[in-house]
Chain A
Amino acid sequence: MEEFHNGNEGSFNSDEADNIVKECIEGVVGADDYSQNLVNKWTAGIVERCLTQLVKQGKSYKYIVTCAVMQKTGAGLHTANSCFWDTAMDGSCTVRWENRTMYCVVSVFAVAIA
């Protein structure tokens, strides 16, 4: 097992992840309206796309990607997260996106390996 000395590149870049996630959401859902039949496909598609794009960065992280899609009816939604990890190396990023008929909240958690 090699040990490599991480300088500053050790930590998770949340801005980059933010951009990746936004592009994925727009690619999958874009200008569509909320549809009960399609929502399953959308969430799976968003999550899978995000994951593949994140992995393409080639960093040694395990990823957890969560996506919540909700129809716009004026109802409220609150989301919170709390993590027990190494703050120097691990990080998270949450993206809120909406269009005319729905809200989409995507959270990415990156946990370092070794």
Chain B
Amino acid sequence: MSELLKDKPQKREKKTVKVPTEASHGVRGKETTGRTKDSMSIVSSIDELGHHEDTRMVVTMENTYQTGPYKRFPVGAVTDILKDVLTNYLQEERYEVEWSQKMTKTICEVTRARVKDLMIPRYKVVVLVHIGQLTGQSMQISSRCLWDKSNDTFATYSFKNSSLFGMATVYGVYFE
């Protein structure tokens, strides 16, 4: 019993642990389901989706009885973020090979950080950025997804100036 409780401080990063306790115990964690039952006394806290830097522990999630997301993926806000980021970084720039390489990665990381700041719980985020040179060539980008269309969605924005184009897409996938 107490050894299980001692394991708790170890989750300074994120872990979802199914910890049966005798006493009713408060639930800690980003997403509390607020379940403190006396009789069954199972404590669960929901994982924050992040990087597991140590050994990759595949954790089994405790049942949350949550049928859908409480807060949906805000497509409008994310589109604005993309517009803002792309315009700021690419306006008045010329296409150059090394610069574009770095810029694509930078834009990706900046966008991901800003979408994370929106703090949308239980959503996994995938950001995809294309930067290309405009030389009169033709190009087609398409994507298709197999997901739950009631919960998952995407936002996209494309930018063009005289020498280059930039396209960014953010997919939000709900973690059930």
Contact = CB atoms under 8 A, between A and B. Distances in A.
A111 B124 contact: yes
Contacts of B63: 1
Contacts of B58: 5-7, 10, 88-89
B8 interface: no
Interface string B153-175: 00000000000000001010101
Interface in B126-175: 126-148, 152, 169, 171, 173, 175
B116 A68 contact: no
A84 to B, nearest CB: 4
Contacts of B39: none
Contacts of A10: 58
A36 interface: yes
B104 A114 contact: no
Interface in A49-79: 51, 54-55, 62-79
Contacts of A55: 146
Nearest to A66: B143
A34 B137 CA distance: 11
Contact of A84 (B116, B129, B176): B116
Contact of A47 (B52, B100, B144, B173): B144
Most-contacted residue by chain A among B47, B135, B175 (CB, 10 A): B175
19 contacts: A3-B61, A34-B138, A39-B140, A43-B141, A55-B146, A63-B147, A64-B147, A66-B169, A75-B135, A78-B104, A78-B132, A80-B129, A82-B105, A82-B109, A84-B112, A86-B47, A86-B124, A90-B124, A109-B171
Given A66-B141, A66-B142, A83-B124, 7 more contacts: A1-B63, A43-B141, A62-B145, A69-B141, A77-B130, A78-B101, A86-B124
Q: Give 7 nearest A-B pairs by CB, closest first.
A: A88-B56, A66-B143, A82-B108, A80-B104, A43-B142, A84-B125, A73-B137
